[in-house]
Amino acid sequence: MTCEIHEECGVFGVFNAKHAAELSYYALHAMQHRGQEGCGIVASDGETLRGHRNLGLVKEVFDQKQLDRLVGNNAIGHVRYATCGGSNHSNIQPFLYYHSTGDFALCHNGNIVNSRLLREMFEKAGSIFQSTSDSEILAHLITKRAYGKRTDALLEACRQLEGGFAFLVLTKDKLYAMRDRYGLRPLSLGKMGDGYVVASETCAFDVIGAEFIRDIKPGELIKITSEGIESSFYQEERLNKMCAMEYIYFSRPDSDINGINIHLSRKAAGRQLAKECPCVADIVIGVPDSSLSAANGYSEVSGLPLETGLIKNKYMGRTFIEPSQELRERGVKMKLSPIRSVVKDKRVVVIDDSIVRGTTSRQIVQMLREHGAKEVHMRIASPEMIAPCFYGVDTSTYEELISAGNSVEKVREIIGADSLGFLSKEGLLKAVGASDLCMACFDSKYPTPLFEDITKANKDGK
Ligand code: AMP
Ligand code: SF4
C-alpha cells in the first residue's frame, strides 16, 4: 500500500517569555500523546532563528545542551505522529527557512486537502520541496508574495488552503497563529507573564503555568509582537466544526476545547451510551487510557460496578504506529493485559472509545475470554466509523474501516463479542454539548470540498 503522510500532530508557540525553548520542551512533553514519531523546536532571540529536530520522543530528542543552544524568548515547537509509511527525518517540524523577505519557521497540525494541486502548481513553476509534508506548501505561499506585509501574505496564503489546519509561524520578532475557517483543528491562546502562548491543547498551558485566555477562532490569524496581540480573519464565511475525534480519542482528559472539558465530555458519552445500549452484566471495564472516562459514565448510569480489568503497559507507543496488521495485533497484546482475578467468571461490559479497523476490540475480546470472562459485551462511546478523515486524523481507509462495509451484527461476529453497541450520532453531539462538530467519519458529511475522488484517494492509501 502506498501511503500519504498525514499530519496528526501537536503545536506549541511562546512569545516573550524567558527560556522559551525550555518552556516549549515541557509543553511538547505534555502533548506527547499527539505525536511520538519526532519533534522539534525553533527559537528566536530577536535576531537569529535556531532549531533542532529529530526522530524520537521529546525527552529523547532534547537534552539540556540542545535547549541551551536554542536561545531567546520566542519559540515554536511540534510533535509529530507517524501514521503511515516509514519514519522520515525531513518531515519533522518546525521547518526553518532562510529567505530574503526574512527568515521564518513554521509548524502545522492538520491536513491540506488541496495540497496536491498547490504542490503541482509550485513544482511546475520550478519550486523544490524538502519534504513530503503538505505543511511546506504554506512556506511557498508565504514567499510567493515577496513584498509587503507578512500578515497580508499569510492571510492570502490561508485563503488558498483548504482543509483542517492549525499553523504557527515564527519570524525573528513575531509569532503568528492561524486556524482553518472550518474550525476543524484546535488551537488555544494563553498568557504567561508579559508574554503569550499558543497550543493545540490547554494541557500544555497547565504544565508551564500559563493562563488560558481563549480559543483561537475559526479563520482567525493572530499576530503576536512586543506590542501585544492583533487579530484578523482571512475569510468571511466561517464554521465551527471542531473534530469530534478530539473529544472522543485524541485530546488529553485534562484539556478543554471550545470551553468543554475532554474528560467530562467522555464521561457524558459513557452515560449516554448506558442509556442507549444497556447491558445485563456483572462489571464495567474501560480500555485504558482514553476510555476510562466513558467507562466511568457508563457505570454511573447502569449501576454496574466499575472495575480495573485491563492494565496498560505505559512504556508502549500507540498501536496505530505499527505499520502492518500483524505488528498492530502484536502491539495490542503487548500494550494491554487483563487482570484474571477481576474478569474470571464475570459477565464483562468493555467500554472503548472507538472501533476503527477492529483490531483492538477483537484482541480484547479474545484476551478477556482467555482470562476466564464468561461473557464479553463491547460498548463503543462513539458512532460507527464509516468514512476516512481527510483533515489530519489517521482513521484509515474505507477498505480497512470495519464498520464501513459491515453491519453492527457482522462487526460483532468479527470481533467475537457476545453483544456490541455504538453511541448514536445524536447521542455524541448531546454528550459533548457542542452546537456543531465535524462528524464526517461517522456521517460522510465533509465540511470542505475534498478536491479529489474519494474512492481514488483511498486506493492511493490516503
Ligand atoms: P482499531 O484497533 O483499529 O479498531 O482502533 C481502535 C482503537 O484505536 C481504539 O481503542 C482507540 O482508542 C484507538 N484509536 C482511535 N482512533 C485512533 C487514531 N486516529 N489514532 C490512533 N488510535 C486511535
Ligand atoms: Fe475529526 Fe472525523 Fe472530521 Fe476527521 S472526519 S476531522 S477525524 S471528525
202-211, pLDDT tens digit by residue?
999 999 999 9
Please tell me the number of the ligand nearest to residue 439's CA.
2
Average pLDDT over residues 355-361: 94
Nearest atom of ligand 1 to the alpha carbon of 359: 2
**CB of 360 sitting under 6 A from ligand 1:** yes
Range scoring the smallest mean pLDDT among 215-229, 362-376, 439-453: 439-453
Q: How distant, in Å, are the alpha carbons of 55, 93, 189, 385, 420 from that of 89?
A: 6, 9, 29, 32, 41
Highest mean pLDDT among 137-141, 274-278, 318-322: 274-278
Q: Which residue has the cell 485534562?
A: 254
**CB of 165 sitting under 6 A from ligand 1:** no
Average pLDDT over residues 207-220: 97
pTM for the complete prediction? Answer: 0.93
Which among 6, 9, 111, 245 is the best mutation to test ligand 2's pocket, defined by most ligand atoms within 8 Å of the CB? 245
9 flagged as catalytic: yes
Give the count of beta carbons closer than 10 Å to the beta carbon of residue 69.
12
Grid cell at residue 382: 462513539
Grid cell at residue 340: 484474571
CA–centroid distance, 353 to ligand 2, in Å, is 14
Q: What is the pLDDT of residues 310-337, one digit of tens each?
A: 999 877 654 444 456 666 666 677 789 9
Question: What is the rounded distance in angstroms from the CA atom of residue 329 to the CA atom of residue 323?
Answer: 11
Average pLDDT over residues 109-122: 90
**Residue 100 burial by CB count (10 A; 0-12/13-18/19+): exposed, middle or buried?**
exposed
pLDDT attached to residue 7? 53
Are 317 and 83 a contacting pair, CB within 8 Å? no
Q: Name which residue leads in pLDDT, 139 or 424.
A: 424
pLDDT attached to residue 325? 62
**CB of 318 sitting under 6 A from ligand 1:** yes
Please tell me the number of the ligand nearest to residue 184's CA.
2
pLDDT attached to residue 166? 96
**CB of 389 sitting under 6 A from ligand 2:** yes
What's phi and psi for 291, nearest 5 deg? -105, 5
Question: What is the rounded distance in angstroms from the CA atom of residue 22 to the CA atom of residue 70?
Answer: 9
- CB-based contacts of 37: which residues, under 8 Å, 6+ apart? 55, 80, 81, 82, 87, 92, 321
CA–centroid distance, 418 to ligand 2, in Å, is 29
Q: Name which residue leads in pLDDT, 339 or 123.
A: 339
Using alpha carbons, select from 197, 162, 190 the residue that is nearest to residue 18. Answer: 197
Using alpha carbons, select from 123, 93, 127, 126 the residue that is nearest to residue 110. Answer: 93
Using alpha carbons, select from 397, 385, 106 the residue that is nearest to residue 243. Answer: 385
Are 31 and 203 a contacting pair, CB within 8 Å? yes
pLDDT at residue 6 greater than cutoff 60? no
CA–centroid distance, 85 to ligand 2, in Å, is 21
CA–centroid distance, 18 to ligand 1, in Å, is 38
Question: What is the rounded distance in angstroms from the CA atom of residue 418 to the CA atom of residue 379?
Answer: 11
221 CA to centre of own chain: 20
Out of 9, 107, 203, 279, the active site residue is 9
Question: What is the rounded distance in angstroms from the CA atom of residue 187 to the CA atom of residue 202?
Answer: 9
What's the one-letter identity of residue 99? H
Are 339 and 309 a contacting pair, CB within 8 Å? yes
pLDDT at residue 85 greater than cutoff 70? no
Are 156 and 141 a contacting pair, CB within 8 Å? yes
